[in-house]
Structure 1
Amino acid sequence: MPARLRMYGPAILIGIGIASCISGLLWYRMWLALPWSRFSESLAVVLISLLLAAAMHRLRGWALAHALAAIACAALVFFAGMLPTIATLALAATAIAVGSLLIPQRDALDAVIALPVGLALIGGCLGWLMPLPLHHSGVYLVVAAVLCIWRAQELRTAGIALWYAWQDNVAAAPWHAAAAVLALGLATTGAWLPTMQSDDLGYHLGLPSQLLRDGFYAPDPAQQIWVLAPWLGDVVQGIAEVLAGHEARGAVDTLWMLSAAAALGSLTTTVRTDARIRWLVVALFASMPLLASLVAGMQTELPATALIAAMALVIMRMPGDRLTWCAAVLAGGLFALKFGQAVAALVLLIWALARVRDRVDAKRVAVAILLFLLIAGSSYFHAWRISGNPLLPLFNNVFQSPVMAPHQLDDVRWHAGFSPTLLWAITFDTKRYLEAEPGGYGFVLVAFVGVWLLALWRRETRSLSLAASAIILLPLLPMQYARYAFPGVALLLAPLVITGSTVLGVRRFAYVGFALCLLNFAFHANASWVLSTVARKRLLTNLGDTQLVLQRFAPERLLIAELHERDPTDSVVLALNPEAPYIAELAGRGRTVSWYSPTLEAARFDAETDASGRRWKNLIDATHARWLLLRPDLLSPAQRAALSLGGARQVITAGVAELWSWGDPALGRTALP
């Protein structure tokens, strides 16, 4: 290779990626898709945070990163709630205590690994006990207290190590640290919002709500086909919710995000010890628009990112018996989060085996397999026991559970085709690959494509880059749904920044990296409809009043909360509109005529053929419904006729949604404020 090409070739390759990103912005006229109102809100949040941090720096002498972290924590407590935050901190402490059983606490890296390992251990083991009436705050508090007291020395060592590592990394690169903490704080604004995303209201809130209300989980797949799907993420949410006494999603999501950020930063440190590079990786991770969307919901890709980053860190620190067992626990956690995460787990396990230099010990492998099955197996076992399909609702064409038709679920929206231009299309034509607007996936994949090629070439970053690339691309082969690739993109950031900093120098590449962070933040709101609305602005201007936000965007939640007060029994509630099947919080009382319940969906199709409404009346009677959730604008003529035939009566209204009684004229009408 000519000396001149060897000298300038890598920099030219990096420049090609940056030029490609700029070309895409111009070609697709991305300024027209930029959510200017939401971006201005984010800039206002940044400005206020910086002013407060500057005042704390001047008056108290705090480093900007310390002040910004304190402001972000205070905002989280105010908007997400004091009790949920305390409950999540208790969960985190217990997780580190449990995780320290597998990895002795010697330094900050051990604590970073212990947290996700402990969360996987707790969630995986507790999953087996879901049907038992053990899930009460008193029981959880006693168990957590015993574990934390037993492992008090390890917790103390972990806390001290984390504190000193935080201080050292901030002192080593104060401006980079401040930028990264500011980025993380802006990402946590999604955690301020109440839970409003469709999958969460229709499914994910079900397990935590039932644990809180009943103390056990009794899934009925005939009413909701996803209730037996891998549930580790919802179990962890449920633990915090039971401890807090109400929803703790925002605080738990923040914990997963911080765990992922710490693991990615620590992973970077294992390759390159420069604190500036570490903080730049964290800042780029925090700036990714899809992260803010995940922090605002309950999808599994957020905890999966934390587990994948921690497992990569474990692999980099191999060999060792306990590190091997940690890898088994984290791989089991990935299986327990979602069957689709098996791809990431298998890629990382293959990488781990490739790094093993000596002979594999049979006893060590046997213990690792047992740990894996313990963590991964609970939801699959209960799904097989209840429905006959351990993967319900997936692969029912193979297992043929009577709960639903014997066919494989598929979503035709996400089959745009796998091609060499896929990552370009995901970046600029995002609608075809995600429920998002253009730019809602961020611009890392295009802007750093040249760095990516160099990271795959360089020995220092090759193995990590190959693993991350496989975790990105393999899930996109059968279905081109961009959210599934997010954990791999997050993992890829470490080798990208290490490589780019090597080629251009840390300072020059930091300019590129932070410019990309700003571009990502500009398109934050395009990652999800929740972020694109005025929900955050309404929350800020009304001092955290979530009722005003819910009334506009998820009014069924207000109706359900009022119903719990009026009727705390097990009376059935039927959601009439398939477009709003938001019954998860009803904790087993809810029924829906949407695709979540194939039997009732088929009955709905049949009922719609009878304009008199009699078949709809018979359908409602057959569910033994006492209450009806509906949106008047979405009612069909047959449904309106059925309401009249059945003597239904409007009881409560909230925004565009209403709660009706079925066949009880004694109840009067109320409008929620």
Structure 2
Amino acid sequence: MTVDASLPMNGPARETAVRPWERGLLWLGAPLCVTGLATTGIAAQWRPGRFAELLILALASLGIAAALRRALRWPLANGLAIAWLLALVGFAGPVPFLAVATFALAALALGALVHPGVPVALQTAGGLALCGGLLGWLLPLPVHHRAAYLIVCVALIAGRRRWLRDAASDAAARWRDAVASAPRPAAFAILALGLASTGAWLPTLQADDITYHLRLPWQLLQAHRYPLDPGLHIWSMAPWLGDVLQAVPQVMAGAEARGALNLLWIAITAAGVWQLAGALHGTARAAWYSVALYACLPLTAALAGSMQTETPTAALLVWLARMIVAARGRDPRFLALAAVLAGGLLGLKLAAALLALLLLPWALWRRGLPSLRAVVAVVAIVMAIGGSSYAYAGFVAHNPVLPLFNAWFHSPYAAPVNFNDPRWHAGFDALLPWNLTFHTERYLEAFAGGGGFVLVALAGAWLLALWRRETTAMAATTLLLVAGLLLPMQYLRYVFPALVLALPLLAVIAFRIDPKRAAWLLAGVCVLNLAFQANSFWLLRVGAVKMAVLSAGDDAPLFREYVPERNLIAAIRATPHHDVLALDPERPYIAELGVRGRSVSYLDRALQRGAVDADAVADGAAWAALLRREDISDLLVRPARLTPAQRAGLERLGAVQRGSEGDVQWWHLPAAEGLR
């Protein structure tokens, strides 16, 4: 994770002398955190059992690393990396892991074609954005087969095998130098990354994933194309680059590969954080503590257990900022790679695109105004990489950001109102950093402390970064990113990538102001964040990682406990079936069925309206007609939620129960067999 010649470490910083009041301001966050812990009731939200599990895992990994150091004379950081990597293989599965490794090598080979001189992690990030951008345009075509993906990946790897071998050798040498430059902080950072990776051990259980994000990967795995039909799912044409990238290793492996791919993104982000700290004239210790701060953010582990876009967004954003810091001259390859990263952000989410846009003033300040020709080229690349979902949605649904802003576009597939969630409008004021830290539940589906303590504990470092001339520009930019995302909606997850971008700056400032004691401050923040890691995600809080360990990676027990629909869908998938209807609008957990998954929730407006009308006919005739018309062969039912009209309709069709998991039942309609 050291710096390549094409992204040079800047020379010695023009630092001003450190004044006594600056050291006092740096440490101001510590008593503020103690005050918050003592007065806000957050201590009652702490789950010591979850923290104890992290301590046990940390001790186990340290034991393995120590044994490897004695046997092979490896640095502790190397042994820790191997231990946590093997754990991921065991829980995420060896085949999905190999699929992600193959995909990563192919992406590296592709990214190197844009700019062969930049670091391996940056080339891989660029290659992933290129892959996602190209495949986004090809989604409607029946070309998404395992053989096709494997052939392309193997061809890229084989065609660039000598370069890949040299790149691997160079990366290994740079890793050795980076670890040797600060062995203890390196070990601490790798240990923290390992603890964050435990989120990737979990199967996919997060609500947004099982109602939406899994839809595209499973559709490509089962049908090899993705129909552009927002009538079946209102979010089906939302920005999809993240889900496309999830689909590639899943199609190759024949199984979900979310955990391994998320760890790849985390590694890319960690490398970018390390390099960005160095580019800001930070020491190796500051760089490794930057990585540790990123790893210990509670949301890093929480997002590792989901398919949310903030994990790849953080990776692309950090490397885009690193390229801005390293900008020298007007190398067109450099500009092209930056455009690829910006296109990737556009393809992930509108909020991610906003982050790229807010970086623009800083980039122009450092590089100056580009030529008109360069601007046209950059815009073309950005749209080519990130524009597929917007173009298709505009053509099919007449709203490029469906279902957002539909009061403006009036797409027939959504209500003519602007999509909004009133839960996340708690207010933007001077107390927001404090409230985000100690009253996190107001700003995220989490518990107090689940966002981490950086905003309070390192508030002094942020103020100092704004004050000192050598860091004012980046400090102001990171503040602009955070504020720009929080002004319209006070939702903490969206701010995560911007917060990650600020961490190298805060660590570098801390070591610059108080080089002898800064490590204690940053390590204390890391430990406090780890103590509240479980508060960031309900699965971590209820001990899902412990259940995954005790079940030796078998997903069925976790599904049975928290999302029984997934076990039932696996059983349905093994039988002949047509469309499957989730009959409880509060649990539309049918994304993995692709276009075969239907629900009566807001996600499927036609069925939602049909269900309301059918419930008005007490004898069930309307429900029976609706199920026949929509070609429903199987249903996921919660008996306690069935309406009298639904019961009557199922009786009319002779529905039979095929299975049950928890409070969810699988019902089959024999009358639908004649439709096949």
1:126-173 per-residue CA deviation (whole Å, 9 max, x = no partner) reads 110011111111111111122223333432332222211111111111
Moved more, 483-492 or 395-404: 395-404
In the alignment, does 2:623 pair up with 1:616? Answer: yes
Moved more, 144-153 or 399-408: 144-153
Moved more, 452-461 or 247-256: 452-461
Q: Which residue of 2 aligns with 1:25?
A: 37
Q: Conserved in 1, the CA contact under 8 Å of 2:632 and 2:672?
A: no
Mapped to 1, the partners of 2:537 and 2:585 lie a distance apart of 21
Q: TM-score, normalised by structure 2?
A: 0.94
In the alignment, does 2:383 pair up with 1:376? Answer: no
Any residues of structure 2 matched to 1:174-573 within 5 Å, and which?
174-319=183-328, 320-357=331-368, 360-505=370-515, 507-567=516-576, 571-573=578-580
Mapped to 2, the partners of 1:158 and 1:362 lie a distance apart of 35
* 1:29 positional shift: 2.6
* 1:610 positional shift: 4.6
What code does the residue aligned with 2:446 have? A
Q: Which residue of 2 aligns with 1:70?
A: 82
What code does the residue aligned with 1:212 have? L
* 1:663 positional shift: 4.1
Q: Conserved in 2, the CA contact under 8 Å of 1:556 and 1:657?
A: yes
SS of the residue corresponding to residue 580 of structure 1 reads: coil
CA separation of 1:386 and 1:665: change in aligned 2, threshold 3 A:
closer
Mapped to 1, the partners of 2:262 and 2:18 lie a distance apart of 45
Mapped to 1, the partners of 2:637 and 2:383 lie a distance apart of 42
What code does the residue aligned with 1:195 have? T
Moved more, 178-187 or 541-550: 541-550
Mapped to 1, the partners of 2:99 and 2:392 lie a distance apart of 28
Moved more, 653-662 or 323-332: 653-662
1:530-567 per-residue CA deviation (whole Å, 9 max, x = no partner) reads 21123211111121111111111121111111111112
What code does the residue aligned with 1:240 have? P
- State the identity %: 44
Alignment RMSD: 1.8
Q: Which residue of 2 aligns with 1:160?
A: 169
Q: Conserved in 2, the CA contact under 8 Å of 1:304 and 1:337?
A: yes
* 1:614 positional shift: 4.1
What code does the residue aligned with 1:340 have? A
Q: Conserved in 2, the CA contact under 8 Å of 1:384 and 1:390?
A: yes
1:200-226 per-residue CA deviation (whole Å, 9 max, x = no partner) reads 001100110011111111132112100
Mapped to 2, the partners of 1:554 and 1:606 lie a distance apart of 29
* 1:495 positional shift: 0.6
* 1:503 positional shift: 0.7
Mapped to 2, the partners of 1:659 and 1:197 lie a distance apart of 21
In the alignment, does 2:41 pair up with 1:34? Answer: no
Given the alignment, which residue of 650, 661, 666 partners 1:643? 650
Q: Conserved in 2, the CA contact under 8 Å of 1:649 and 1:665?
A: no
* 1:427 positional shift: 0.7
Mapped to 2, the partners of 1:224 and 1:459 lie a distance apart of 50
Q: Which residue of 2 aligns with 1:671?
A: none
SS of the residue corresponding to residue 389 of structure 2 reads: helix
In the alignment, does 2:578 pair up with 1:588? Answer: no
* 1:249 positional shift: 0.5
Q: TM-score, normalised by structure 1?
A: 0.95
What code does the residue aligned with 2:28 have? I
* 1:122 positional shift: 0.9
* 1:605 positional shift: 3.3
What code does the residue aligned with 1:338 have? K
* 1:425 positional shift: 0.6
1:301-343 per-residue CA deviation (whole Å, 9 max, x = no partner) reads 1110000001001111213221111111111111100012221
Specify every segment of 5 or more residues in structure 2 that has no aligned partner in the other structure, as ranges. Answer: 1-16
Given the alignment, which residue of 130, 136, 142 partners 1:127? 136
1:206-248 per-residue CA deviation (whole Å, 9 max, x = no partner) reads 1100111111111321121001000000000001111111110
Q: Which residue of 2 aligns with 1:51?
A: 63
* 1:59 positional shift: 2.2
SS of the residue corresponding to residue 101 of structure 1 reads: helix
1:642-661 per-residue CA deviation (whole Å, 9 max, x = no partner) reads 33333211101123322101
Mapped to 2, the partners of 1:604 and 1:38 lie a distance apart of 42
* 1:609 positional shift: 4.2
1:467-511 per-residue CA deviation (whole Å, 9 max, x = no partner) reads 221221111111111111110000000110111111111x41111
Mapped to 1, the partners of 2:47 and 2:537 lie a distance apart of 12
* 1:286 positional shift: 0.3
SS of the residue corresponding to residue 595 of structure 2 reads: coil
Given the alignment, which residue of 101, 110, 115 partners 2:113? 101
Q: Conserved in 1, the CA contact under 8 Å of 2:631 and 2:672?
A: no
Q: Which residue of 2 aligns with 1:9?
A: 21
